[in-house]
Structure 1
Amino acid sequence: MPPEQRHVYVQVVEGLLQHGLRGQVSPRLRERLRQAGVDLDRPLLPLYPVPLWTRCLHIVVEETYPGTPREEAFRRLARAHVEGYGATLLGRAVMSVMRLLGPKRVMQRLPEVLRGTDNYTEAVLTELGPAHYELRINSVVDAPGYAEALFEAVLQVGGAQAPRATKLREEQDGTVYVLTWTER
């Protein structure tokens, strides 16, 4: 699917901007987001183009974590995003199930969860060993540390101890990550 046809769903935007950043959306951040194309004073749209959403992530990092090293800022943002997504109607249901599943089954369901966030993500999961997986997604995220922290936070919801997501490599049409955690 061409990049201009890729969109994220409203619950992703709502999860971060209305819940994950609760109390942190300054008037300046609100205005910068509005200028970029996301007006928080109006009902959110059902879909947002990925380039616009990526721009919004960068604006939020600049405004919310000034002076923080870029990768750490995106990691903090990802953790806030998972928390915020858990406060949406759909996110509450998804997170409740994840808490019951345990880390291995959360990992096995991750491709399905990712498909529910946008209209384009395809993920291929390969089990390399107990608590050791490779995940290939068909996109490259222009936010260092963001996807890794997002995966770690999701695994943590599932009860994983010391979850770790590491970008193994970027390819022309995707990214490969290694995800591990400590077995109890």
Structure 2
Amino acid sequence: MPPEQRQVYVQVVEGLLQHGLKGQISPRLRERLRQAGVDLDRPLLPLYPVPLWARCLEIVIEEVYPGMPKVEGYARLARAHVEGYGATLLGRAVMGVMRVLGPRRVVQRMPEVLRGTDNYTEVTLVERGPAHFELHFNSSLKGPGYVEALLEALLAAGGAKAPCVTKLYDDGERTEYALTWIQEP
């Protein structure tokens, strides 16, 4: 799918901006987001173009985590995003199921869960061991550390002990990540 046709679904935007950052949206941040194309004073749109959403993430990093290294800002943003997504109607259902499944089955469902966030993501899963998987994405996100922290937060929500996500490959078009955690006896 051409990049200009790639869009994220409203629950992604709602999860972060209305729930994950609750109490942290300053008037200045609200105005900057509105100027970028996301008006929090109106009902959210069903879809947002990926370049617009990426710009919104940059704005949030600048406003909510000023002066912080980008990697740490994006990691904090990703953790807030997972928490916020869990507060949406769809997210509550997904996170409730994840808590029951355990980390292994959470990872096995990640391709399906991630496919439900936008109109373009395709993820393949490769099992390397009982607590070691690889996720191969058909896309690349510019926010340093964002995907790693997001996936770690999802693993933690599924009960993974010491989850660790490492980027293995990124050519700007596709990415691969290793997901590991400590296997419980």
Give the CA deviation at 1:171.
2.6
Distance 1:165 1:31 in 2: 34
TM-score, normalised with respect to structure 1: 0.99
Root-mean-square deviation (Å) = 0.6
Give the CA deviation at 1:172.
4.8
Which residue does 2:85 correspond to in 1?
Answer: 85
Distance 2:141 2:101 in 1: 27
1:10-89 matches, cutoff 5 A: 10-89=10-89
Q: Deviations over 1:74-94 (max 9, x none)?
A: 000000000000000000000
Percent identity over paired residues: 74
Unaligned runs of 5+ in 1: none
Q: Deviations over 1:103-151 (max 9, x none)?
A: 0000000000000000000001000011001110011101000000000
Larger deviation, residues 129-138 vs 76-85: 129-138
Instruction: Give the secondary-structure state (helix, strand or coil) at the position aligned to 2:153.
Output: helix
Q: Deviations over 1:5-46 (max 9, x none)?
A: 000000000000000000000000000000000000000000
Distance 2:18 2:183 in 1: 34
1:137 aligns with 2:137: yes
TM-score, normalised with respect to structure 2: 0.99
Give the CA deviation at 1:166.
0.6
What amino acid is the match of 1:169? Y
The 3 A distance-change label for structure 1 pair 145 and 24 is same
The 3 A distance-change label for structure 1 pair 146 and 172 is closer
Unaligned runs of 5+ in 2: none
Which residue does 1:105 correspond to in 2?
Answer: 105
What amino acid is the match of 2:80? A
Distance 1:32 1:166 in 2: 32
What amino acid is the match of 2:139? S
Instruction: Give the secondary-structure state (helix, strand or coil) at the position aligned to 2:45.
Output: coil
Query: Could you list the runs of 4 or more consecutive aligned residues of structure 1 that deviate by over 4 angstroms after TM superposition?
Result: none
Instruction: Give the secondary-structure state (helix, strand or coil) at the position aligned to 1:8.
Output: strand
